[in-house]
Amino acid sequence: MLGGCGRAGCERPDEPAAPPFDQQRAGDRGEPFDISLPGLLKHVRILEKADLVITEKQGRTRQCRLGSEHLDDAAQWIQTYQRRWEGRLGRLGGYLERKKGARR
């Protein structure tokens, strides 16, 4: 997403750590992903419309910060479905184990 690539080992060890999300310019967000500035700004506008990212113009740059209240809503929604799917997958695993045992 916007603050890192989300994959283990993505950050290069010889590079300094990136500043916190709210201290970076919008244009700096695309550097780790090799994305053009117009492409990045298109993504930022979509996130702004969803109130997931808030940008503020400071001089010639735009500073980004997370719209945390909507991220909290998204996290709660994800947790709800995560619990449902973990329960369903657990029951499926139990069923498959019983079927496997019945074949022997």
For the whole model, what pTM was predicted? 0.43
Of 12 and 62, the structure prediction assigns the larger pLDDT to 62
User: In what helix (H) or strand (E) does residue 57 lie, and over which residues does it extend?
Assistant: strand 53-58
Of 88 and 35, the structure prediction assigns the larger pLDDT to 88
**pLDDT value, residue 67:** 79
pLDDT digits (tens, 9 = 90+) for 15-71: 545 555 555 566 565 566 777 888 888 988 998 898 888 888 888 887 888 877 777
